Copies of this chain bind each other. A is one copy, B any other.
C-alpha cells in the first residue's frame, strides 16, 4: 500500500500517515527537502541522512535542461545519480514554466511576494517579458541557459519524469497568477484537467503519479477542480497554482479543496513552507510540503529559531546572523537544537563566516535550517499521534 493513514487528530483535520516507496518509507506530514538540480544546495546526502530528511524534491524543468534526463536515466535514476539513498519526487515543470511566463510578466514568485496583499515593504521588482507561450497542447519557452526554444507538454513531462525515475511524479499543469481573473483561471483549469487525463494516459511506469488541483482563488473553480482531479486514477494530489492574495485566501482554498479529495490519498501543498503556513495547512489536512525557503534563507543569512529562543510568527522564527548582537556570541543559533551546526559552532563564528562569504557558512546554515524543519515536522507528527496538535500549534504561533 502506497499511502496509509496512521493517526487522526481529534480536534482538527490533521493526520499522520506513511508513504511506502521503492527507496524507503516517508512519515507524513513531511517537509520535503528541495534539491532543484539533483542537489540540495550546499548540503550533502550525508548531512541529509543525519537530519533524518526523508525525501528530496527535484525539478523536471531544470534537470531536463541540464544535465538532461537521459544522462540521469543512464545513472539508474535521480536518487542514485545524486548519491541519495532515500525516496525522491519530481515536479512536472509546470510551475517553472509559469515562472518564465506570467511569473515574470506579473512579477510573482513563490517566495517573497507569493501573497501580493501581504508583500508589505518588499521592493517592487520590475516586471519582465513573458518567456513562455501556452496553448492547449502545451508550452513553448526559451531556455534561460542558452536561449534555445523548448517545448513541454503532458506527454513530454511524464516521459522526462519517467526517465528521471523519482518515486513520485506530478502531472503537468498550468499554474496561474494571483493577477489572473476568473475567466483566465477557468480556462487554465480546464486545460490542466485535460492535461491531467493525458498524463495518466502517458504514464507507463510504477512511479506514483499525483494530480494537481488548480482554480486560483475562486471557490467554484477550486471545488470543481478538486472533484475532477480526485475522480481520476491518481496516487495522490497536489494543491497548486495561485493561492490567492493573502494567507486568508490560502486557508479558504485549502478548506474548499481538501474535502473534495479522496480522503485516503496523500495531499501535497506545492511550494509552501513557512512555519505558520505549515501549522495552518496541517490543521486543514495537508500531508506533504516542499519549499526552497530553509536553504534559500540560510544562504541570505537568516537562520531559524524555536519559540524557546523567542522565535515567533512576528519574527518569522528567524534571526539575521549578520546582526551586531551576534558578533561576540558564544551561543549556538538555537540552544534547543541538536544539529551539527548548533552542537559545534557559535553565532560569532557563523557571523564571521557569513561576513567573509566563506563557503562553509552556506553548509552550516543550511544544515541548521533544514534540521529545524525536520524537527518541527517530527513534533507535529508526534502531536497528532497524541491528539495535541492544536496545543503545539498554539505554543508556536499563538
Contacts and interface: CB of A to CB of B under 8 A. Distances in A.
Contacts of A352: 37-38, 66-67, 71
Nearest to A84: B344
Nearest to A62: B356
A358 interface: yes
A74 B328 contact: yes
B37 A356 contact: yes
A344 B83 contact: yes
Contact of A83 (B38, B39, B327, B349): B349
Interface stretch (A6-14, A182-190, A264-272, A360-368): A360-368
B358 A363 contact: no
B356 A41 contact: no
A81 B37 CA distance: 34
Interface of A: 37-46, 66-67, 71, 74-75, 81-83, 327-328, 330, 340, 344-346, 348-349, 351-353, 355-356, 358-360, 362-364
A169 B82 CA distance: 42
Contacts of A340: 44, 46
A360 B44 contact: yes
Contact of A359 (B83, B348, B351, B363): B363
A350 to B, nearest CB: 10
Nearest to A343: B83
A40 B330 CA distance: 21
A309 to B, nearest CB: 20
A42 B75 contact: no
Contacts of A74: 328
A154 B13 CA distance: 70
A42 B359 contact: yes
B349 A41 contact: no
A41 B83 contact: no
21 contacts: A37-B356, A37-B358, A38-B349, A39-B353, A39-B358, A39-B360, A41-B360, A42-B359, A42-B363, A44-B364, A66-B355, A67-B355, A71-B328, A75-B348, A75-B349, A81-B348, A81-B349, A83-B349, A359-B359, A359-B363, A363-B363
B83 A345 contact: yes
A75 to B, nearest CB: 6
A349 B37 contact: no
Given A83-B344, A352-B66, A44 B363 contact: yes
A355 B218 CA distance: 42
Nearest to A63: B352
A340 B353 CA distance: 24
Contact of A71 (B45, B66, B327, B356): B327
A276 B351 CA distance: 38
A340 B83 CA distance: 11
Contacts of A37: 352-353, 356, 358
Nearest to A358: B39
Contacts of A346: 75, 81
Given A46-B340, A359-B362, 20 more contacts: A37-B352, A37-B356, A37-B358, A39-B353, A39-B356, A42-B360, A43-B360, A44-B340, A44-B360, A44-B363, A44-B364, A66-B352, A67-B355, A71-B348, A74-B328, A75-B330, A81-B349, A83-B345, A359-B359, A363-B363
Nearest to A74: B328
Contacts of A345: 83
